[in-house]
Structure formats: C-alpha cells, structure tokens
Amino acid sequence: EKAGPEAVTAVEIDPGKREQSEANLKRLRLWPLRQIEADATDDLAAVLGQRYDLVLCDVPCSGLGVTAKKPEIRLRMTYDRIQELLPLQAAILDRAAHYVAPGGHQFYLTCTHNRQENEAQADLFLAQHPEYRPACLQQWLPDALKDEAEGGFLNLFGHRHDVDGFFMAAFEYGGDDHE
C-alpha cells in the first residue's frame, strides 16, 4: 500500500544519494517522493512550505559503524575529518528543528559509534533547544529492539545485533510554533 500524496519530502544535495533515497523509498512503498536538491543547512522554509510530523536527519558521518562492509573507511577517516563533520551535523540538526510541527518528532541518525558524533551531538541539540525533549523510541522499534533504546537513544552494534553500526536519537517538539 502506498503512502499518501507527497508523503515523503527529501532534501539532499548529492545526486547519487538522491537516487539511492528514491530507490529505498520505492522499495519501502513510501511513495510518491518529493525531492528537493538543496543544502540541508540552508533556510528551506519557503521551499518546503509546511512543517512535518516526522523529520529524519540522516547526517554525513564518519561511517565507522559500516567498516565491515566498507573497510576503506578505516584508511580515509581521520580525527581531523571527524572534527570537520561535527559542525555540519549540528547545523543540519539545528536547521531541521525549524520544520517540525508542534507535537512532532525529529530523529538524528548516523552509521557510526563515535560518541562525539552521536550522544554528544544529541545532548548539544537538547541543550540548545529547550523546546525539545528526548522522545520514547520504543513506539517505532520492532519488539526485538525495544529494550535496547534508552533515554531517546539507540545504538546498534554488528556483533550484538547482526546489522551495521547505527545510532539514532529521537526528540519530541513540545512547543506551539517555531519563531
């Protein structure tokens, strides 16, 4: 069964990732898709034209959780490169907060186990956005993972969950409207 008209809006600057998103969303039957070629750190309020009940921030990250499938990451990822990613991750998370509808949720996703990119970014976001609070992840998770989520965070590990390394943080917007 298909989702409703323009059920999913994706903002992506990279053409290859736009194609991948389109293929994944079709496979998941979350179609039709409205694709916007833009930098997610830009003010896109006029382009988006609405607020959303659910906003996913799948940010660029070090990829240290997927080195089993992509071992070349070990060769190219450095401490300095991770330090360069941190402000971009924070900027995407911050900008996306403006597009969440009252009572809606925002998710922050990475494929790394780096605490600086994960828990520290989520904590920083919550400190800078008192209108948000950690959300209960259990409502979105399969039964097998419900006990893994804690305090609005979920860490998946290949050796324990038989998946790529993955981090998710969920935030609930408790304000009435954005300024």
Please list the active-site residues.
111
Q: Which two tokens stand for residue 105?
A: 């949720």
Rounded CA gap, 17 and 22, in Å? 8
3-state secondary structure of 171: strand
Rounded CA gap, 107 and 14, in Å? 20
Closest of 98, 119, 99, 116 to residue 108, by C-alpha: 119
Helix axes 79-96, 119-128, angle to 10 degrees: 40
